Amino acid sequence: MNKGSGKILAIAAPIIWAAIVFLLHVVKIPSEHEPRISIPHADKVVHFVMFSALSFLMWRSAMFFGKRRTVTQWLVVMLFCLAYGASLEWYQGISGADRDSDFYDWIADLIGTLSGLGVAATKAFSIFFRHQLRKSS
């Protein structure tokens, strides 16, 4: 992978994932497509996974452009994800799309965000991505 395509991927991945998260939050799901088996709190797991991935991809992008990790970068990613999750929940509450706004969904977003950032900050991932960054430069 050359340097140009690495930058494009670093920018595109979190944007595309944020768009997918947006669509999953706002698109009305017809009742005939709802799961037949009801798993308690399955939506919380989905929120957790979506925001873990979003924060991970955003942190990866910040590492690519920031050259080193800083608390400021970590806080910006965390605050963006939390504000994004809160705004999506707020939108669900005011839209007429038969979607429910749920505070606990936002808590799952928060826990997922912190989890994604925690995974991204581990030594194993930082070594892997540092190697990837060297290969692309």
Predicted TM-score (pTM) of the model is 0.80
User: Distance (Å, rounded) from C-alpha 134 to C-alpha 61?
Assistant: 15
Mean pLDDT along residues 102-129: 83
- What residue spans define the domains of the chain? 3-30+42-136
Statement: residue 91 has pLDDT above 90:
no
Mean pLDDT along residues 52-58: 94
Longest dimension (CA), the chain: 50
* 123-136 vs 42-66: helix crossing angle, rounded to 10: 50
**Interval 65-78: pLDDT, tens:** 766 667 888 899 99
